[in-house]
Amino acid sequence: MSELSAIIERLSNMHSWNIHEVKNEGMPTAWYEVVGMSIIPDLVIKEEGLQEQAQAISAQIAHWGRLVAQCKRVVDVVEREYRIWRDTLKMQLIESAEKKMTDKSLDAAVRAHADYRIWYVRMESVEEAYNATQAVLEGFKAKKDMMRRIIYRREEDGVATLSL
């Protein structure tokens, strides 16, 4: 199984995901829903349209590269906001404690807090969006590499060439 085939298989089994954007207020909001199945046709190399695909592949890589960077920014923002929430909660716990709390007991208290699950799910969601978007980008990079090999093979066989 080629690298691209593995990526296509992963995408076909994925649920849709949201790519978020960071608004002026600094908080990420859902911006664009990606459906993995809708990307698959763009990842498949079609012999009849090889020239058009070669012309489009750089734009596709740039597009998904930008989305990966955007997803990474959202992960960073959500992690920062989680750390602020966690550290504020720890300070409140320390100030209200009758005796000194250990790091272990502080961490356990944070995980036991009702809002911890909300933060956990939120982090998981943005990390999965980042990973899924990264997989799409890697798929387009693999497609470019495979197209390059096809073109080189054609060149060796004396068929008209196309360069990437």
Quote the pLDDT of residue 164.
56
Per-residue pLDDT at 88: 96
Alpha carbons 119 and 20: distance in angstroms, whole number = 16
Written as tens digits, the pLDDT of the chain (164 aa) is 566 677 677 767 777 787 877 776 777 777 777 877 778 788 888 888 788 888 889 999 999 999 999 999 999 999 999 999 999 999 999 999 888 889 999 999 999 999 999 999 999 989 988 998 998 899 899 989 888 888 777 767 765 555 55
Q: Residue 19: what are its φ and ψ, rounded to 5°?
A: -95, 130
